[in-house]
Amino acid sequence: MLRFILHRLLVMIPTLIVVSIVIFIVINLPPGDYLSNQIAELRATGQEAGLAKAEFLRREYALDRPLPEQYLVWIGLWPGPNGFNGLLQGDLGWSFEFNKPVAEVVGETLWFTVILNVAAVLFVYLVSFPLGALAAIRANSWVDYLAATIGYIGLATPNFLLALILLYYGQKWLGLPIGGLVDAQYENQPMSWAKLGSILQHLIVPTIVIGLSGTAAMVRRLRANLLDELGKPYVVTAKAKGVPPLRRLTRYPLRMALNPFVSDIGSLLPSLVSGSVLISVVLSLPTIGPALLEALRAQDIFLSGFILMFISLLVLVGMLISDIALALLDPRIRLGKARKAQS
């Protein structure tokens, strides 16, 4: 098992390298870059002073060199003007748009993004699991229809609309806070229980909004899987052994139906991350979503490059987690290699 995890971790390295190359190429595809745009603008308006600074930044971040070299400098495999100083060394680069180091721009929002997405994934799983299982066991009963209805609403309603509705009624009936990450009084204060409570309160609406469509899809999938498994001969065997109904369900078909459920973590994460960009804008949440949008619009290459890398890493970690969970759950995957060797 340890070897399996180690192997998967090693495989992640070349994947990340390929991803970084693709990202770098993609963000450099539009003609020009932030600095050359700025320099042109400064020239046009005759601000020669700013020009010197722009030229300085251009050299400082090796933007005057050929693209492959730029890439290596960005990663930190090639000496830039100040020696090796790239992602590998922990220097995320300079955000031209915000005129700050990228690390400062992203800062806390990074962690909030992770927290929000993990919360959304947990929401998806915690809600869809019992709902999907119930819908399958009581197929064509009111539970099934209710789950289907909620699912279709979740799939069909535009997320931002849902967000606005939930915000309004959440505030009106439950006194939930509107927008932002934390109440104003706690901002710039050290972490405390009260602050944590405030953050959690603020998380409720975004989590539901971001997770709902994923939940809807997941409920349908679990229902279909479980319905298939319920008719399998090994369930009959369990019945013939005298296994009581609840134990029969949880021990056999439910575990089998869990497989696709778990393997979805990997594909769930990216859709959540990209889906949360718009929500973050609507709810004015300090996630990296809005920053990414702004960075891409302004061709702020270091900022957008880093954010894309971060999301890719998130996805890879999600896939790693789902692979490990699958191997733990299913001996056929865990022992698959050994079987091939035997036959």
Partner 1 sequence: MLKVEGLTIRFRNAPVDRPVVDGVGFSVGAGQSVALVGESGSGKTLTCRSILDILPRGAEVAGGSILFGGGPEAVDLLRLPRSGLRDIRGSRISMIFQEPMSALSPLHSIGDQTMEVLRLHGHCNRRSARDQCLAMFERVGFPDPQRAFRSYPFQLSGGLRQRAMIAMAMVARPQLLIADEPTTALDVTLQAQVLALIKELQAETGMAVLLVTHDLGVVANMADAVVVMRAGRVMESGCCADVLGRPLHGYTRKLMAAAPSIPEMTCAIPASGAEDAILEFHDVAKTYERGSTRVRALDGIDLSVRRGETLAIVGESGSGKTTMARLAMLAERPDPGGRLLFRPSAGQPPLDLLSAAGPELTAYRRRAQMVFQDPYASLSPRMSVGEIIAEPLAIHGVCGRGEGRERVRALMAQVGLDPAWACRYPHAFSGGQRQRIGIARALALDPQLLICDEPTSALDVSVQAQVLDLLESIKQRLGLSLMFISHDLAVVARLADRVAVMRAGRVMEQASPAVLFSAPLHPYTRALIAASPEPDVSRPIDVATVALGAGAPDLWPEPFRPTPDGAPPPLVEAAPGHFVRGHFARRAA
> Phi and psi dihedrals of 13, rounded to 5?
-65, -55
Q: How far is the CB of 272 from partner 1 (least distance, A)?
A: 29
CB 127 to partner 1: min, Å:
25
- CB-nearer residue toward partner 1: 190 or 233: 233
> Phi and psi dihedrals of 104, rounded to 5?
-75, -40
CB of 141 to partner 1, least distance (A): 15
Q: Of 271-330, which residues contact partner 1 (CB under 8 A)? A: 329-330
Q: What binding mask, one character per residue, do residues 233-252 give for partner 1 by CB under 8 A, x or -?
A: xx-xxxxxxxxx------xx
Confirm or reject binding of residue 255 to partner 1 (CB under 8 A): yes
Cα 184 from chain centroid (whole Å): 27
- Encoding tokens for residue 121? 């994934």
Answer yes or no: are the C-beta atoms of 180 and 167 closer than 8 Å: no
Strand partners, 94: 101
Cβ nearer to partner 1, comparing 32 with 336: 336
| Of 125-133, 182-190, 197-205, 232-240: span binding partner 1 (CB under 8 A) | 232-240
Dihedral pair phi/psi, residue 157, rounded to 5°? -80, 135
- The yes or no reply on residue 27 touching partner 1 (CB under 8 A) is no
Minimum separation from the CB atom of position 217 to partner 1 (A) = 24
Query: Is residue 7 a contact residue for partner 1 (CB under 8 A)?
Result: no
* Closer to partner 1 by Cβ: residue 227 or 296: 227
CB atoms within 10 A of CB 120: 27
Residues 238, 305: Cα–Cα separation, whole Å = 54
| Binding of residue 168 to partner 1 (CB under 8 A) | no
User: Is residue 141 involved in binding partner 1 (CB under 8 A)?
Assistant: no
CA distance 261 to 117: 17
| 341 lies in the site for partner 1, by CB under 8 A | yes
Judged by beta carbon, residue 114 or residue 329, the one nearer partner 1 is 329
Of 91 and 229, CB closest to partner 1 = 229
Q: Which of 261, 252, 251 is nearest to 221 (CA)?
A: 261
Burial tier of 8 (Cβ tally within 10 Å: 0-12, 13-18, 19+): middle
Q: Which residue, 172 or 337, has its beta carbon nearer to partner 1?
A: 337
Measured from the Cβ of residue 103, the count of other Cβ atoms closer than 10 Å reads 15
Least separation in angstroms between residue 247's CB and partner 1 is 8
Paired strand residues for 83: 80
Q: Are the C-beta atoms of residues 294 and 97 closer than 8 Å to each other?
A: yes
Q: Name the minimum Å distance from CB 228 to partner 1.
A: 13
Q: How far is the CB of 8 from partner 1 (least distance, A)?
A: 18
CB 137 within 8 A of CB 130: no
Q: Please report whether residue 55 would count as binding partner 1 according to CB under 8 A.
A: no
Q: By C-beta, is 251 or 297 nearer to partner 1?
A: 251
DSSP three-state, residue 95:
strand
3-state secondary structure of 80: strand
Tokens 């009260």 belong to residue? 194
Q: Which is nearer to partner 1, 58 or 334 (CB)?
A: 334
CB of 322 to partner 1, least distance (A): 17
Binding site for partner 1 (CB under 8 A): 231-234, 236-244, 251-252, 255-256, 329-332, 335, 338-343
